[in-house]
Amino acid sequence: MNAREFYQTIGQIDDDLVLAAGEQPIRKKRFAAGQWALAAAACLCLVLGGAWVYFFNAPVVWNEGPVGAVSNSKLMIPAGSTSRELSEMELAGYYQIDPLPNVLGDDLRQVHTGAALYVDGGGTVVHDFNQIRYESADGNRAVTAALSRISSTAPAADGARASCIHGNSVVLTQDGSIPGYLLLEARWERHGTTVCLSAEGLDKGEFTAIVRQLIGG
C-alpha cells in the first residue's frame, strides 16, 4: 500500500470510532478486602452496642415517683435495744464504703451526719439509723443520704427499671407531683449496704453526676 492508498483508507474510518478511542475505559468498582472488613466491623459494633443496651441497661432511665422516705423509721427500733453513735470513720467501716466526701458536686457541703447502731443485750446489731445531709450555701439545693445494712429503707416500686452506673444497678426515680418542684431519688446496693439518696432543687443531670461521684470506680 502506497502513501496515497493509506491516506484514503484512514479517511474512511467512522468519526465515532476515532472519538471512542480517546475515552478512558469504564471499569466496575470492586470492594477491596479491607473495605469489606471495615463494613463488617461497623455492623458488629452496632449489634454489640444493641446487646449492651439490652443486657446491661446502660442508658440512664428514670422511673416516675412518688419518691419514698430516705431515712429509716425509728418505729423499727426493737424494744430493749441500746444505741451507740458512730463517728465518720466508724460509719465508713461499718457500711463498707469510702469516707463520705465533705462536698458533693460543685457546692453541696455536708451539714449534718447522724449515725447510730442499736444492739440487743448480747451486743448484736439489730437496727442501724443514719442520715447524712448536704446543702448549698443558699439552702435551695440539698441531698440527703441514708445507708442501711440491717433495716432497709423504703423499697423501690415494683417493676422499677434500673440504670447501670459504674457497674452498679441504680434505680432512679423522679417525682413531679408538686407543681414547679422536682424530687429525685436514687437507690443502689454495694458490698451489702443499701444506699438511698434524695435530692431537692437539683436537675437530673446534676443528681446523676452526684450518684456517679458516690459510686466511684
Q: Quote the pLDDT of residue 27.
A: 56
Q: Are the C-beta atoms of 97 and 208 separated by less than 8 Å?
A: no
Please report the beta strands in the chain, taking only residues with DSSP state E, as ranges in sequence order.
Answer: 62-64, 82-85, 103-104, 108-119, 125-135, 142-148, 163-165, 168-178, 181-190, 193-200
Mode of pairing for the β-strands spanning 168-178 and 62-64: parallel
Q: Quote the pLDDT of residue 105.
A: 93
Q: Quote the pLDDT of residue 66.
A: 84
Mean pLDDT for the chain overall:
78
47 pLDDT more than 80: no
Q: Quote the pLDDT of residue 54.
A: 41
The fold of 60-215 is Protein Transport Mog1p; Chain A (3.40.1000)
Residue spans of the domains in the chain: they are: 3-55, 60-215
Q: What is the pTM of this model?
A: 0.68
For 14, phi then psi, to 5°, come to -60, 135
Q: Tell me which residue of 213, 193, 105 sits closest to 148, measured CA to CA.
A: 193
Please tell me the distance from the alpha carbon of residue 117 to that of residue 146, in angstroms, as a whole number.
13
Write out pLDDT tens, residues 86-106: 998 899 999 998 889 999 998
